Structure 1
């Protein structure tokens, strides 16, 4: 990825709260703070991955960007247009350039429609292909994703999981988008099929200059496809940087724990895994200060009271930022663990 490429997507102070109703009158008594003050940019032609445990706010961030959920506050600017300020009609036009591939390739396809109807519907809504040319376009899309044109007259249940995901990709490509959000797009597939779909996505990126926001919990997949990586925990970004710097020189204790869980294919290699203690706190009432302090082996009173900000330290690669009060001291060994670190082989 060339950082000289233009900025395609800019997310500033994005918040996505879901109200909790209670009482006789159904008033809002609290909020689920799914995404809480998140900011990042995505450049044209790159792949930015968002990683973290289930419930960290990855998918909600993607949905908020596309306005599938209306953001509580913040700014989402795509190709120079502020998406949050658009009405439904204006947003529908913008969705031509912003598509999504969902996690479940079966649930995201209408079981009552053939593949031809599914692909035709997308082109009709966005009016991107004349009606007389749509059958040829559908045949071309089917070939592009590795399926046969005659299969377009079949229903989704007549395909395997990997084939259904290819149909989801074809639907996203049918309107010639600039940005595709891949929400756990390969997590439901077998490993061999995952590789095929990932290679397909990378080929399309090269040929069509696509930009991806790739949401996943599988760090092995993320390492294969990403240019930059965003690590989220409980609705906040705790680390962001280039793929190489995140994997080779992680700074946040949470990132280190995630990376330690990546399986090694060689049984002869013994690898230590860091086991985090305790459960993920509730996003309804997140901890004060650093949200990771309840599970962090390096936490102090400062971590409980002060919220760390994303910052780049002198020993980190340019563009690599971490939200940890003691990132540098932990790296140099000056800051010791405040409780035992559980490690297993």
Structure 2
């Protein structure tokens, strides 16, 4: 496990906001926005895996897209290796993107079906000019070896591979430009469980071998527990808890985190596990609740929770919680 205090901070996100305008149905209707990501901050250290978890619609994938500027953020700072990505020109951003890569959820949709694997990998190297032209074939053979595919795969098309093999090709494409940070956006959720384990082990091996840094976005807490160094929990565009993996799974503090972890199935019929069931639905991100956004579903909510937004407090070294009663819940 990476010791965050001893590592260099590679990525620092400060007060990031990502709002999307909603089309008005009437001419005089007030302008509305979906607050997909609303004022979040966190750091990511070199060689670390930070996982982002939460329900669908909480802002996990939008955070990843905003960091890469696939969507232009509404406000905030994204400082990578000392440079604010949001201030870069298109030319400088294109150069920097060689160090920032992404692995998408659907390995079939993210690969050009008309190109061979050799063309897909060569295109990435050509755009970033990461490898000299005469050395690209050797580099492609090396990439195939790294991800566990035969060299003959280079002459084939994406449809000729299984889902797991296609995701290996997606990983090879990300590695083709020698990145330092890779954002894994639900990178294993479309795969069978046995294949998920293979891909996760491959990512961990590549991380050790190539000194990679991962921002791992997932809704599967079992997967997150296997691959993470730290875990960040999001709810309705906000960060509610962030902590080292073992601290979060062994002593979850925020009521929402506790509810999430209680939903993990236990593969033993003799073990009785208490399940925390939340009432109501997730509120609309167009008009989020005042105060703590979780108070409409929280079984411990008080009047303070509905009127004042909680500050993030550190309940233990590296364990931060956005809750008015964080210290009470942590010691309970």
Runs of 4+ off more than 2 Å: 23-28, 327-333
The structure-2 alpha-carbon separation of the partners of 1:8 and 1:28, relative to structure 1 and needing over 3 Å to count, comes to: farther
The structure-2 alpha-carbon separation of the partners of 1:142 and 1:303, relative to structure 1 and needing over 3 Å to count, comes to: same
Query: 1:125-204 residue pairs with structure 2 within 5 A?
Result: 125-204=127-206
Instruction: Indicate which of 9, 12, 16 corresponds to 1:10.
Output: 12
Is 1:122 matched up with 2:124? yes
The residue that corresponds to 2:232 in the other structure is 230
Is 1:295 matched up with 2:297? yes
SS at match of 1:217: coil
Is 1:330 matched up with 2:329? yes
Kindly state the Cα deviation for residue 2 of structure 1 after the two structures are TM-superposed: 2.7
For 1:7-61, what per-residue CA distance to the aligned partner results, in whole angstroms no more than 9, with x for missing partners?
1000000000001122577997200000000000000000000000000000000
Gaps of 5+ in 2: none
For 1:212-267, what per-residue CA distance to the aligned partner results, in whole angstroms no more than 9, with x for missing partners?
00000001010111001100000000000100110011110000000001111112
Kindly state the Cα deviation for residue 331 of structure 1 after the two structures are TM-superposed: 4.5
CA RMSD of aligned residues (A): 1.3
Gaps of 5+ in 1: 334-345
The residue that corresponds to 1:337 in the other structure is none
The structure-2 alpha-carbon separation of the partners of 1:118 and 1:298, relative to structure 1 and needing over 3 Å to count, comes to: same
For 1:126-154, what per-residue CA distance to the aligned partner results, in whole angstroms no more than 9, with x for missing partners?
00111111111111111110111111111
- Once residues 205 and 28 of structure 2 are traced to their aligned partners in structure 1, the CA distance between those partners, rounded to angstroms, is 50
The residue that corresponds to 2:107 in the other structure is 105
- Once residues 40 and 2 of structure 1 are traced to their aligned partners in structure 2, the CA distance between those partners, rounded to angstroms, is 16
- Once residues 229 and 283 of structure 2 are traced to their aligned partners in structure 1, the CA distance between those partners, rounded to angstroms, is 30
Q: TM-score, normalised by structure 2?
A: 0.97
Q: TM-score, normalised by structure 1?
A: 0.93
